[in-house]
Structure 1
Amino acid sequence: MQPEKRIALGLTVAVFLATWIAPIWPVEQALHSSLTVVGLCWLWRHDQRWPMRTIDFALICGFIAVHCVAARWLYSNLPYDEWVRALTGWSPQQAFGWQRNHADRLIHLMFGVCFTPGLREHMQQRWPRLSPRQAFALALMLIMCASLVYEWLEWGIALTMSPEAAEAYNGQQGDLWDAHADMLLATLGALLAWPRRVEASCAAAAEAA
């Protein structure tokens, strides 16, 4: 593994460990963090078999690190508004008229943004005959499918809990369309990851044809 990737992975593990200092809701945080451990193991094994670009590796590490911080506060309790106000004196909640904590929305958006470039590159590594657009389309569909399966998983776990514990774990905050909004944001995040160089490659191929 390249030194830059080792640094990114090491920093991510450090953030993960730091979020477990005096946990506020240890059981619920452990449920969320189980996916973090799986993700870190997958990232390391995947890069050993199919080396990733450093930027793609770092993006995924960045997502996992932010996820760890949000998981400590179970997403809906993340005090981002207080942090921003302390640093800048500006309140996102007041400025946009938000009635709920949107930390979970950010995480789902980041999932699409941070994973799509690496997935697209992986598609072209495995199947070199794919065009850039085809590889991107497959990456987009994987993000959408992963988001759907995650919402199913959340729902399944919630069924085993009391209503209060399920609400704390899922962080719906009374929003009946929470799962739909999360999946949409992951999809939009993936679309935001459409690289300019792919557009350039497609345009060049069209001109050559």
Structure 2
Amino acid sequence: MKRDKSKGIHLFLLLFVAAVFIWSVIKPKGYMIWTMEVLPAVVVLIIVISIYKKFRLTTLSYIIIAILSILMFIGAHYTYAKVPLFNWIKDYYDLNRNHYDRFGHFLKGLFAIVIREIVIRKTTLTNGPWLFAVTLSFALSIGALYEIIEWLASIISKGGKASQEFLGTQGDFWDSQWDMTLTLLGSILVLFTLSKLHNNLLRKKNVPID
């Protein structure tokens, strides 16, 4: 029987993400903000793990989910406005803010590939402009939903410290618009650069895409 090497890769990704999660929970900036920040990633990971046998994604999608989860765990540990590397970048280049949050929202464009895969495998859409448009719409909708959740968290907590750190606006009135714009740009870039690779991986799984 031919050995499925992808399972080993998936297990490695899971263990690596779990290790970062454990590190993240050890003495974070605050447990309330930590919980708020890691919750979306934890929910996605639970869903992905629970449906692994019934609906296994491509390795590319799992790599993307791992990257984005780690990104959120790091942000949860330090808070997005105080990640050390980006504090150093801020000081070195005399920037007006820590840009880890902006960097994170741009990288969230990677999730467009995961959305693309689900759309291809669960709908009648195949490779073409409509697939691009629908995937991009979903990606932007998820980005906008996250901003709405941040806004609701701020209202519910009446502007408490944890909610302010969760928002991470760093005094920028247009922070939400910047976040959504960067997610949109990241999604467009990812769809243009990774779709061909993604198609090849889907063909190996005998998924019709043309």
Question: Structure 2-normalised TM-score?
Answer: 0.82
* Alignment of 1:70 onto 2:75: yes
Q: Give the partner amino acid of 1:69.
A: I
Q: How many angstroms does 1:46 deviate by?
A: 4.4
1:98-137 mapped onto 2 (5 Å cutoff):
98-113=95-110, 115-137=111-133
Q: Give the partner amino acid of 2:115.
A: L
1:44-90 Cα offsets, whole Å, 9 max, x none, are: 234433221111211111111121011111100111145xx6xxxxx
Q: How many angstroms does 1:167 deviate by?
A: 1.8
Q: Which residue of the partner structure matches residue 43 of structure 2?
A: 38
Whether the 8 Å contact between 2:90 and 2:96 is mirrored in structure 1 is: no
**Percentage of identical aligned residues:** 22
* Alignment of 1:80 onto 2:85: yes
Structure 2, unaligned stretches of length 5 or more? 1-5, 200-210
Q: Which residue of the partner structure matches residue 10 of structure 1?
A: 15
Q: Which residue of the partner structure matches residue 177 of structure 1?
A: 174
Q: Which residue of the partner structure matches residue 144 of structure 1?
A: 140
- For residues 22 and 31 of structure 1, what CA distance do their matches in structure 2 show? 15
User: Which of 127, 151, 154 is equivalent to 1:155?
Assistant: 151
SS for the counterpart of 1:76 is helix
How big is the alpha-carbon RMSD for the aligned residues of Structure 1 and Structure 2? 2.3
Q: Which residue of the partner structure matches residue 205 of structure 1?
A: none
- For residues 164 and 197 of structure 1, what CA distance do their matches in structure 2 show? 40
Q: 1:197 to 1:32 in 2, by over 3 A?
A: closer
Higher deviation after alignment, 42-51 or 116-125: 42-51
Q: Give the partner amino acid of 2:13.
A: A
- For residues 159 and 132 of structure 2, what CA distance do their matches in structure 1 show? 39
1:130-150 Cα offsets, whole Å, 9 max, x none, are: 233322221111111011111
SS for the counterpart of 2:191 is coil
Q: Give the partner amino acid of 2:143.
A: S
Q: How many angstroms does 1:32 deviate by?
A: 1.2
1:24-63 mapped onto 2 (5 Å cutoff):
24-63=29-68
Whether the 8 Å contact between 1:133 and 1:198 is mirrored in structure 2 is: no
Q: How many angstroms does 1:29 deviate by?
A: 0.9
1:155-194 Cα offsets, whole Å, 9 max, x none, are: 1111122435132221111111011100111111100112
Whether the 8 Å contact between 2:105 and 2:183 is mirrored in structure 1 is: yes
Structure 1, unaligned stretches of length 5 or more? 86-90, 202-209
- For residues 63 and 176 of structure 1, what CA distance do their matches in structure 2 show? 25
Whether the 8 Å contact between 2:90 and 2:97 is mirrored in structure 1 is: no
SS for the counterpart of 1:194 is helix
Q: Which residue of the partner structure matches residue 204 of structure 1?
A: none
Q: Give the partner amino acid of 1:42.
A: I
Q: Which residue of the partner structure matches residue 92 of structure 2?
A: 94
SS for the counterpart of 2:80 is coil
Q: How many residues align?
A: 192
Whether the 8 Å contact between 1:121 and 1:135 is mirrored in structure 2 is: no
